[in-house]
Amino acid sequence: MQPQPNSSPSAQVPLWRQLQGAASILLAVRDGQSMTPALDDVDAQLRPGVQALAFHALRWLGRAEALRQQLAKRPPPPEADALLCVALALACGDEAAPYTAHTLVDQAVEAAKRSDATLHQASFINGCLRRFLREQGALMALTEKSPLAVWNHPQWWIDRVRKDHPTQWQDILRANNSRAPLILRINERKTTPAQYVQALLAMDIGAFPIGDHGVVLTEARPVMSLPGFTEGHFSVQDAAAQLAAPLLLDGLMAVAGEGQPRLRILDACAAPGGKTAHLLELADCDVTALDIDAKRCERIAQNLTRLGLQAHIVVGDASRPGNWWDGRPYDGILLDAPCTASGIVRRHPDVRWLRRPTDIAQLAAIQTRLLATLWPLLKPGGRLVYCTCSVFRAEGEQQAQAFAASHPDAVLMPSPGHLLPQGSVKGAVFPDNLMREHDGFYYAVLQKRSA
């Protein structure tokens, strides 16, 4: 299960220790490491508070770096710079903190003193932070000249979103900097969204339905504490991702009558198994869940076991079907292709700082190869749903249109296209986002012409 970013720093752990942990996460991200494994290295007692601080710091990192440049023209050593930027991000953010600004400064200096790597920078950090408190208005105004500070995204990312979505780019970037709610997908083999909402309300847990299969909690909670977790009543899955299985099945179930063989479906790049599970929750079908990572395939098995579902789990490279395919064509293929993850930044705020401009073309090439390789595995009359959690058109609209143009037997069916990220509280309602709450995604439904 994905840990929730909405957790508050633990009051049982000194703030200075949590600041040290958050600074270590920022150091790892700056070194090119994903936040998820970096968090796994944090002591379990510290992890909830460190995660909350690190999420906040990464959302406000552009502003924090711009402020640090105003406070110190030359950056301090990496460890001290990470701690200072974490503290500045927490001091300048617009979210209410459970501590005063002076407490933050005091604890940041304490964090510096408690580490050999930052001990000799404690006075420097103290001076920078106290100057920020004295001159906050003027310093913030100076950073307004920097797009990096205003939008808290790298400049190349801002430029790319603006090019791809010229009328909506600002709303997309704002949504990326918002907190994502905890969204559940209800296992309708065991209960319904309406019934589950009532079960939550009976425990004084605020919730409301979203889409056909989802429930949004008004306040995030540990998923294992929610009713029905052990019994497999729900999974954690964003509302946009919940569209994948219905998009594939709706077209296939319409032509599958009684007495016909069970649908054979391939879920390529399936780990951790959310979409595999949704397919099995909605239809009696034979699903092959394929992923190149053996450990991630173990997660597929674990998730399906909790939900009371079964699939044929295969460790293999989707681009090399000769190593795993039995030669029998599939009725449907779900290709959730590797991508930049530019649509799920609000859930993974490190993504924007980890990606490089060249990643888009490299990943688009992989997507092109996967589409071309998997298409021959589909029966005539079958459907392939291509999706990415990206807002970049090179990984979505351009990819699908190029594929359809180069494959005469492919028909691009009416599809959702680019779903742009938006939270339910703030921002404009995009025409494609009537649910008012989901991550950025792209969907194309491709049907193979019958012979």
10 Å CB burial of residue 225 (0-12, 13-18, 19+) is exposed
Q: Are 237 and 210 in contact (CB under 8 A)?
A: no
User: DSSP 3-state helix, strand, coil percentages of the chain (rounded to 5)?
Assistant: 45, 15, 40
- Annotated active-site residue 389? The verdict is yes
DSSP 61: H
Please tell me which residue in 85, 92, 339, 389 is annotated as part of the active site: 389
Written in H, E and C, the secondary structure of 63-103 is: HHHHHHHHHCCCCCCHHHHHHHHHHHHHHHCCCCCCCCHHH
Instruction: Report strand pairing: 285-291 vs 263-268.
Output: parallel
Tokens of 133: 């408190």
Q: How far apart are CA 287 and CA 265, in angstroms?
A: 5
Q: Are 7 and 25 in contact (CB under 8 A)?
A: no
DSSP labels, 107-121: HHHHHHHT-TTTGGG
**Which are the contacts of 48, defined by CB distance < 8 A and separation ≥ 6?**
7, 9, 10
Q: How far apart are CA 397 and CA 393, in angstroms?
A: 5
DSSP 335: E
Q: Give the closest residue to 179 by CA, choosing from 429, 435, 425.
A: 425
- Backbone CA torsion sign across 342, 6, 218, 241: positive
DSSP 147: H
Instruction: Report strand pairing: 207-210 vs 214-217.
Output: antiparallel
Q: Are 220 and 181 in contact (CB under 8 A)?
A: yes
Q: Are 396 and 364 in contact (CB under 8 A)?
A: no
Q: How far apart are CA 355 and CA 283, in angstroms?
A: 37
Tokens of 358: 């060249």
DSSP labels, 419-444: EPPB-SSSSPPPTT-TTS-B--EEEE
Which residues form the catalytic set?
389
